[in-house]
Structure 1
Amino acid sequence: MEVDHKFFNVGLLVVVTIIVAKLVSALVTPKSKKRLPPVVKSWPVFGGLVRFLKGPVVMLREEYPKLGSVFTLNLLNKNITFFIGPEVSAHFFKASESDLSQQEVYQFNVPTFGPGVVFDVDYSIRQEQFRFFTESLRVNKLKGYVDQMVMEAEEYFSKWGNSGEVDIKYELEHLIIITASRCLLGEEVRNKLFDDVSALFHDLDSGMLPISVIFPYLPIPAHSRRDQARKKLADIFATIIASRKQTGKSENDMLQCFMESKYKDGRQTTESEVTGLLIAALFAGQHTSSITSTWTGAYLLRHKEYMTAVLDEQKNLMRKHGNKVDHDILSEMEVLYRCIKEALRLHPPLIMLLRSSHRDFSVTTREGKEYDIPTGHIVATSPAFANRLPHVYKDPDSYDPDRFSPGREEDKVAGVFSYISFGGGRHGCLGEPFAYLQIKAIWSHLLRNFELELISPFPEIDWNAMVVGVKGKVMVRYKRRELSVS
């Protein structure tokens, strides 16, 4: 009993000492003059993490009405400050890398993309690597890619019967990776190694979990498979690169562009860099395009008035150009473009965009309040939430592609950064033109050649995935048109 009493006294003394120290610290330490944003209420230490992992969008829906367009979530030893809406997003999208950096917050991509590329290099090198992406996606390159997309779509859907039922989500996922493999990774992968490479990319993708954002090197089976897949992909691409160099063979694909890319100092890209850049390109584009293709189809099949509108557009283009489909004809598909854009507004696959603050700065909210954002905060915005703000979009939860039509253009009325499905500003998505062309090429072929009917319930959102997609199967009944739309 005496020993227990001593331990109790010691414990009490420790607690009292901590309380007194905190009180003294509060009295002695001068109060910060910074006007900090309001903080999301949660349990100490792990409360913020629990709310974040339950779903950032759920948390935003709960806190935005209470706290306004700028507020902070305490996440373990980090503070994430959210900027919601076009009124507060200018600094997020336009700030220099020295002010708001991507590098620290996207370090979890390094094990997937590999060393020496994108977020594993300093900003000046990363900018040069982004230039390689830009050069590989110029209009003259895109025109060649479109020809390959159209060919792949024709070949893929030629294997469908005259009628039947399919999971359109699975079909589109498969076709997207086929076309991306052909345009980005090259003929060798498409013709000989597609199944192997596709399986390896699946393992890479499965190694990107919510926990990976915080602990990217955690020794778990998914990370182990990710690392093994990354190594095998590197070996495959090294073999292809060596073969092309040895034979002098040149192809119209992104692999060739990266092989021929040079830094400003004249240095050629290495095999490791080419592999990493290709993985980054496919990883960034494959999911987003297949998800958006699926949502586009689901909404068209649900809303007959818009299905009629896109079919009429296809008829008009066929009267004008015949059955030909190329880059310029796809560019004329404005109605289909607006339908894709609206599906992407409602369901952006990347629900969070992040930056790390390197300098103090201030922001004035839509409500007229001014806050100081300290150095070291993670600054975040959410396309999934911001794209549905009622003061920006009329009936924001409804599917209405006409909101982007000339004379209405709701995404421009409220100001720049009202529509952020592809990001914007300094770090806007380089693959946006490629994605639209790819989705248009596929749906143009489907619309012209098949009658389609959605026979499963309208799909739900799969919030559990890192890249938020479509939950479950999306079953469609199809019937081949006896003649193309005319």
Structure 2
Amino acid sequence: MDPGDKLLNMGVLIVATIVVAKLISLLITPRSGKRLPPVVKTWPLIGGLLRFVKGPVVMLREEYPKLGSVFTMKLVNKDITFFIGPEVSAHFFKAPESDLSQQEVYQFNVPTFGPGVVFDVDYSVRQEQFRFFTEALRVNKLKGYVDQMVAEAEEYFLRWGDSGEVDLKNELEHLIILTASRCLLGREVRDKLFDDVSALFHDLDSGMLPISVIFPYLPIPAHRRRDQARKKLAEIFASIISSRKSGGTTENDMLQCFIESRYKDGRPTTDSEVTGLLIAALFAGQHTSSITSTWTGAYLLCYKEYFAGALKEQKNLMQKHGNKVDHDILSEMDVLHRCIKEALRLHPPLIMLLRSSHSDFCVTTREGKEYDIPKGHIVATSPAFANRLPYIYKNPDSYDPDRFAPGRDEDKVAGAFSYISFGGGRHGCLGEPFAYLQIKAVWSHLLRNFELELVSPFPEIDWNAMVVGVKGKVMVRYKRRELSVN
């Protein structure tokens, strides 16, 4: 036989052997029967890491039209399955912790919050600690906090002159941390230790980097400063707690609520736990409130019709209540509430929510497709993307607070979990009422006491921040005046 023919026959034999082996494998290997979601095409080994780090929302915008509302991306050694839209997100928000857990995916918070709290304890203990938050944010407590919020706003804006220009973003960041210090951390911090504690919180905050999510204990300078700040904060609050207990004094703040909290077995909270819970509360609220306050102002100053509507509401309330502002009056500000809610829809500070799947489960899309989600997947949803779905929201990229007005209620028409800026279900944000009251207290004061004009371009989104906010300065020209009710 010709050598060329021998080579050809050998090649055919090899190909045939491979084909037969593959057929036999398919016949004898049991099929899983799982209807797995479509998979994003990624690089070997690193998967979609580069695309994810570059911007998960950009990735979602590219893949959602092609793959639909449920799809999986490999990220190094993990599979992340994304749920987009209320129809597939119900299990994400309603599943018990035993099925979908927060603890594993948020472990990077432990060095910042400290030991023995939130994500460093098992679920039963975490549930009791969340109960402490709930009790600290009851209406009777919120009413006292509002009085402090209003007083802080009044005092802060007295520093402004009769006219001038300010960076609104910077101003609101300062005011929110002052308010949070008084309502959450306590009078001792606000009156005597604000500068020290604020600097320590800055070091804590600066120690929360993108690399921290993957390597929270990496020995880098930012992490060392974080750990030193955490230790000093613990010492400061231990001293304050001891002073309150020994002096028998009490205050209307979250610190006092945590000091007085008891677990079901009667055990009181430790000083370390109180400090950790306070840090967690401040981290949950400070950035989100200042960011949302800034976006609310930027939109109001660009959309004159909504600004006029918010002013008219303030005039009506002043005719009814005079210059008084308290919890109940803030609760009547429906127009301002919708303006804040719409800013939050467009710019939720937390753009990704994550869970770790401990069991297999099934989801059904709006189109009726069923997918099986395997145990071990990281499950994710994105408020920043889901809040702009065009089949839920008309002109979803436009600022339109009236979409939440009675009769339209666009966030309710498509069902639960159509609006997820504050999460939802079992893990919905406990601080939502506090946040709205805080932002209303700020903006009701500004609307009543100043003429305002945005003089810089409309701000861009800072996608590089851990908590996504406003990029650059937001320059506003102001002129002091009292709002006329006539």
Cα distance, 1:246 vs structure 2: 1.1
Note if contact 1:448-1:485 (Cα within 8 Å) is conserved in structure 2.
Answer: no
**Matches of 1:484 and 1:439 in 2, distance apart?**
22
**Matches of 1:26 and 1:336 in 2, distance apart?**
64
**Counterpart residue type for residue 474 of structure 1:** V
- Would you say 1:279 and 2:246 are equivalent positions? no
Cα distance, 1:91 vs structure 2: 0.4
Cα distance, 1:32 vs structure 2: 2.4
**Matches of 1:104 and 1:39 in 2, distance apart?**
23
Corresponding residue number in structure 1 for 2:11: none
Note if contact 2:47-2:73 (Cα within 8 Å) is conserved in structure 1.
Answer: no
Corresponding residue number in structure 1 for 2:14: none
Instruction: Determine what percentage of the aligned residue pairs are the same residue.
Output: 87
Note if contact 2:315-2:484 (Cα within 8 Å) is conserved in structure 1.
Answer: no
Corresponding residue number in structure 1 for 2:201: 201
Deviation >4 Å, runs of 4+:
22-29, 482-486
How much is the aligned-residue C-alpha RMSD, in angstroms? 1.6
**Matches of 2:24 and 2:286 in 1, distance apart?**
53
**Matches of 1:225 and 1:372 in 2, distance apart?**
44
**Matches of 1:359 and 1:390 in 2, distance apart?**
32
- 1:332-355 deviations in whole A, cap 9, x for unaligned? 000000000000000000000011
TM-score (norm 1): 0.94
Q: Map 1:43-442 onto structure 2 (within 5 A).
A: 43-442=43-442
- 1:364-395 deviations in whole A, cap 9, x for unaligned? 11222111001000110000000000001000
Cα distance, 1:276 vs structure 2: 0.3
SS of the aligned residue for 1:379 comes to strand
Note if contact 1:36-1:373 (Cα within 8 Å) is conserved in structure 2.
Answer: yes
Cα distance, 1:216 vs structure 2: 1.1
Indicate how the Cα distance of structure 1 residues 26 and 455 shifts in structure 2: closer, same or farther if over 3 A, else same: farther
- Greater mean deviation of Cα atoms: 149-158 or 476-485: 476-485
Cα distance, 1:129 vs structure 2: 0.2
Note if contact 2:448-2:482 (Cα within 8 Å) is conserved in structure 1.
Answer: no
Corresponding residue number in structure 2 for 1:33: 33
Note if contact 1:449-1:485 (Cα within 8 Å) is conserved in structure 2.
Answer: no
SS of the aligned residue for 2:154 comes to helix
Note if contact 1:68-1:367 (Cα within 8 Å) is conserved in structure 2.
Answer: no
SS of the aligned residue for 1:343 comes to helix
Q: Between Structure 1 and Structure 2, how many residues are aligned?
A: 467
**Counterpart residue type for residue 419 of structure 2:** Y
Indicate how the Cα distance of structure 1 residues 226 and 420 shifts in structure 2: closer, same or farther if over 3 A, else same: same
SS of the aligned residue for 2:476 comes to strand
**Counterpart residue type for residue 157 of structure 1:** F
SS of the aligned residue for 2:48 comes to helix
Cα distance, 1:102 vs structure 2: 0.7
Cα distance, 1:482 vs structure 2: 5.0
**Counterpart residue type for residue 164 of structure 1:** G
- Greater mean deviation of Cα atoms: 403-412 or 206-215: 206-215
**Matches of 2:173 and 2:360 in 1, distance apart?**
43
| Gap regions ≥5 residues in structure 2 | 1-17
**Counterpart residue type for residue 260 of structure 2:** E
TM-score (norm 2): 0.94
SS of the aligned residue for 1:289 comes to helix
Cα distance, 1:48 vs structure 2: 1.1
**Matches of 1:227 and 1:179 in 2, distance apart?**
25
SS of the aligned residue for 1:362 comes to strand
Cα distance, 1:24 vs structure 2: 11
Corresponding residue number in structure 2 for 1:15: none
Note if contact 2:447-2:483 (Cα within 8 Å) is conserved in structure 1.
Answer: no
- 1:206-247 deviations in whole A, cap 9, x for unaligned? 111112111111121111111111111111111100111111
- Greater mean deviation of Cα atoms: 193-202 or 180-189: 193-202
- 1:175-199 deviations in whole A, cap 9, x for unaligned? 0000010000000000111111111
**Counterpart residue type for residue 418 of structure 1:** S
Note if contact 1:346-1:387 (Cα within 8 Å) is conserved in structure 2.
Answer: yes
Cα distance, 1:26 vs structure 2: 6.6
